[in-house]
Amino acid sequence: MAVAVVDDHAVVHAGIAGWCAAADPPIHLVGKYETPASLLADPAATPSTVSAVVLDLQFGDRTADLSAPTMLCESGFRVVVFSQHTRSDIVLDCLDLGAVTYLSKLEGEDHLVAALHAAGTDRPYLSPTMAQAMTEDTRPSRPALSPREREVLLAWFQTESKALVGQRLFITTGTVNTHLERIRTKYAQAGRPASTKAALVARAIQDGLVDPNDL
């Protein structure tokens, strides 16, 4: 798989390059950028050529720049946030914006490599930082899912494709899509949109619909 890094520190670029080179299976670092705008300006970097983008949230000051994941997610990139910011509201906001995983820089090589491998195959990855943020989320709006919707949701989290979900549950891929769209609609109506698999994982764990040990 091919990944790009967006961070304004050369030492972070070098560290991630080394981790990717040592990963098994290998991860190819195909681009190093200091800002999200510089990645978006590179015609060689597209969602079809870059499997995931490792993204910092801090550029030039100490505040978390949530416009960064917004820009990249809206452009179609799978974003793995890799930041020193660990406040739960920032983590949850990034997942709401479309990031597939959120990791603290303290979590280091093993978690980042695992998260990138998961992103490359569209599987959820629950980092300790994400798990902590989810347990601290006290927002009350919890949509009511039917037993079948919960079953489809868990099967989708545990497999790599909707086709495999259909085979497991003996339903068509179209029916899987219908259930997932209905679940997304329920969350959107509750004011808690979940546009990506990672966001749905976050919602389901927050609401007690699935156990992290089942993933």
Q: Are strands 52-55 and 28-33 parallel, antiparallel or unpaired?
A: unpaired
The pLDDT of 105-120, averaged and rounded, is 92
Nearest to 126 by CA among 142, 138, 111: 111
Residues 168 and 116 in one domain: no
| d(C-alpha 211, C-alpha 134), whole Å | 12
- Summarize pLDDT for 155-189 with one digit per residue, the tens: 998 888 889 999 999 888 888 888 888 888 888 87
Residues 12 and 83 in one domain: yes
CATH code (residue 193):
1.10.10
Residues 121 and 172 in one domain: no
Q: Is the pTM of this model over 0.75?
A: no
Nearest to 40 by CA among 11, 4, 9: 4
- Per DSSP, the three-state class of 32 is strand
Residues 129 and 152 in one domain: no
| 85: confidence class by pLDDT, cuts 50, 70, 90 | very high
Q: Are strands 101-104 and 2-6 parallel, antiparallel or unpaired?
A: unpaired
Structural domain span for residue 77: 2-135
